[in-house]
Amino acid sequence: MEKLPAYSVLMSVYEKENAEFFRESVNSMLAQTLPTDDFVLVCDGELTPELDEVIAELESRHKCLHVYRIEHAGTGACANYGIEKCRHEYIVKMDSDDVALPDRCMRSISAMAKHPEIDMLGAYIEEFDSDTGKVLAVKKTPLTNSEIHRYSRRRNPFNNQTLVYKKSMAQRVGGYSTIKRCEDYEFVVKMLREGAYGVNLGRTLVRYRVTEDNYKRRRNWANTKAFFHVRWRIHRSGYSSLVDFLVPCALQLFIFVMPSKLTGFIYKKLLRG
């Protein structure tokens, strides 16, 4: 088998993260069949003693883990800081509470190495109940570059937990913005708008942890305002039409005002996949 190129893992963590979920997430990336020699972990502000204990333990056992601590800056700023610190061209993004399957990086890096025109790659995620471990659903995404471009005018065409991208392309577009929410969607659109070639693999590579808070956050007014804000920014940039702006915003507003017990049902039936 031809030797695959090296890659960096990029993750950020902040004080509200569950220490055991965080440990499981990091370990899932350290146990990849294609291991990394550059795991960049950005700590966003002061962490809890439990999180610091996990980091100290992992750092002592894994020389590839490079820990950086910055003042509380938010997800986008942490990602930008981490991009600068990553040593390799391929950057594998990972959330601090999800679980990567063992072959995630091997399959992702292999696909990008075989097709060097790919600038950004994702895959499906398997949603699971955090309390029971039960599989709830598989969230699928559009596969081809043309499908991704069409889909992206209204919604994020990538599962952020599975994203791999070229460092040079991310830097060319200016990285992530520092908006408080939805920065991942805006980043993807910036990449696509500047000519990035995107692909999704039609298989599950990451398990996404679902808790009671997931659906509650969808009804949070701050989250709803951020949803509107980022789509308006995308529309104003000329990337999407007014209809592309209005349709998802109307659905999000409906979710916000409807009874909370229906939020999960609507999400599962209309917004997943």
What local confidence, expressed as pLDDT, does residue 253 receive?
A: 76
C-alpha dihedral, 20 to 21 to 27 to 28, nearest 10°: 150
Q: Supply φ then ψ for residue 200, to 5 degrees.
A: -115, 140
φ, ψ for residue 122 (rounded to 5)? Answer: -135, -165
- Partnered with residue 11 across adjacent β-strands are 41
φ, ψ of residue 111 to 5 degrees: the values are -65, -40
pLDDT along the chain (273 residues), means of 10: 89 94 96 97 96 96 96 90 98 95 98 97 93 89 96 93 97 88 90 96 95 61 77 87 83 67 54 46
Q: What is the dihedral of CA 108, 97, 143, 78, to 10 degrees?
A: -80
Looking from the CA of 193 toward its CB, the CA atoms found within 13 Å total 18
Residue 173 has what pLDDT? 95
Cα distance between residue 99 and residue 205, in whole Å: 9
